[in-house]
Amino acid sequence: MNANEVLVQGSIAMTRGSILRVEDGRDLTLYVWEGAVWLTQEGDERDRWVGAGEWFRLDRQGAAIAHATQRTVMTIAAPGPEPYARRIVLAKAGSALPVELYSAAAAQPSLGALLRRFWSSFSLPGRSNAGSTAAS
């Protein structure tokens, strides 16, 4: 890994047949430490084989799929801080439910959450800032 990179997800263990899907993750780097993945990117006719000790930097937006052809351990790094990608999901072979490893929507507060925080900073008439009312 480059010293300037930010670790997005470390030590992703994938059994043979597992699939990692990265959505809109241009410039993310996939490092394969053990095993191998077959990698394809949306809109790119070329597929790539990334083996142990190798890496590949995603060079376009859209979906990128890494399919583990054997037991694989990999890491994802980004050139800078969040948001890294729109979404990163791991579907382990034999598991019915995929695991969301990263979501830009979850990483950033929603507009509703920002508005609630903004409005809660104001005190309402007849209500003290301490949250209790004085007895008359």
β 63-68/36-41 pair status: antiparallel
DSSP assignment of 117-128 equals: HHHHTSPPTT--
DSSP string, 80-100: SSS---SEEEEE-TT-SS-EE
CA distance 131 to 136: 16
CATH of the domain spanning 6-120, picked from 2.60.40.10, 3.90.550.10, 2.60.120.10, 1.10.357.10: 2.60.120.10
Tens digit of each residue's pLDDT, the chain (136 residues): 677 888 888 899 999 999 999 999 999 999 999 999 999 999 999 999 999 999 999 999 999 999 999 999 999 999 988 788 999 999 999 888 999 999 988 766 556 655 666 666 665 555 554 544 444 4
Q: What is the dihedral of CA 44, 80, 54, 56, to 10 degrees?
A: 0
Query: Which residue has 């241009």 as its token pair?
Result: 26
Question: What residue spans define the domains of the chain?
Answer: 6-120
pTM exceeds 0.85, yes or no: no
